[in-house]
Amino acid sequence: MKKLIAIVLSLVFTLSLATALADTVTIAVPNDPTNEGRALLLLQSAGVLTLKEGAGLEATKADIDTSLVEIELYEVEAALVPEIKVDVDYAIINNNYALQAGLNPVTDSLLIENADSPYVNVVSVKDGNQDTDAAKALAAALQSQQVVDFINDTYAGSAVATVEAPTDGYDATVDYDALNGTTISIAATPVPHVEVLQIAKEILEAKGITLDIIEVTDYVTPNEFVESGDVFANYFAHQPYQDNFNEGNGTHLVTIACIHVEPMALYGGQQSDLAALGIAD
């Protein structure tokens, strides 16, 4: 009799556990501090959860205070989130990796950030280089009206230019004659950064300056390149990420230009709408 009761209790426990797991919503998010916090802020803005007071831009799952449904976060490297999207209910993906995966944040996502955010993508150099003519020429080219028009026309909301006073591509304080024949190297992730840099490349070529664009696929290498001096600049990350990277790694990256915002978005994996999160589309 005791054995039968044990079997029944075990079966009840197993069924209860399965039910609990079935009621848990799985969400893949980037695992670096600023982007995980950004993902959680997106969920909070939609009313899915609330974060503890003072959680800030670097919130983690430990900072979740309340939620409409039981949530299990899968924290993985940002570049890998699109790859595991099919294995989870939802995935919150950085825009550049979404675009590389063939996803349009404006038309394919279920939730998307407001473009008015602190996550502005920036151009960085090593401290000490920010006042050089090379840095000023690069910043002017990337803050040009040509680049602003390219971003807004090409990406139609999946990337939004944030340049408030676009240049004609050039900085009047720069000695372009002295830069003629020189090369400026810059590391960048493919979409949209490398594509945007092609516009800046044409602007600089008109002054005899070669922009050497080095394509990378992760969020660490570009900063290591600049810190070591192997590359002059990089263009791939938003400002909170760069601030966090400097603090955590003892690097000396300085922003020379703010270019655009890429709204982060939530995409359906095994779910096709927001019902599982307890909110309406």
What mean pLDDT is predicted for residues 63-74? 97
State the pLDDT at residue 111. Answer: 97
CATH: 3.40.190.10, 3.40.50.300, 3.40.630.10, 3.40.640.10. Which one for 2-114+265-277?
3.40.190.10
- Asked, colleague to colleague, whether 2-114+265-277 and 120-261 share their fold, the answer is no
State the pLDDT at residue 22. Answer: 55
State the pLDDT at residue 280. Answer: 81
State the pLDDT at residue 120. Answer: 96
Q: Which residues pair with 235 in a beta bridge?
A: 123, 188
State the pLDDT at residue 114. Answer: 83
C-beta of residue 43 within 8 angstroms of C-beta of residue 106: no
State the pLDDT at residue 237. Answer: 97
State the pLDDT at residue 281. Answer: 75
State the pLDDT at residue 68. Answer: 97
Look up residue 14 and give its DSSP letter: H
Please state the domain extents for the chain.
2-114+265-277, 120-261
Say whether 110 sits in a helix, a strand or coil: coil
- The token pair at 273 is 């709408």
What mean pLDDT is predicted for residues 21-43? 92
**Residue 109, burial from CB neighbour count under 10 angstroms (0-12, 13-18, 19+):** buried
The contacts of residue 33 (CB under 8 Å, 6+ apart) are: 58, 60, 244, 248
pTM: 0.85
Assigned superfamily of 120-261: Dipeptide-binding Protein; Domain 3 (3.10.105.10)
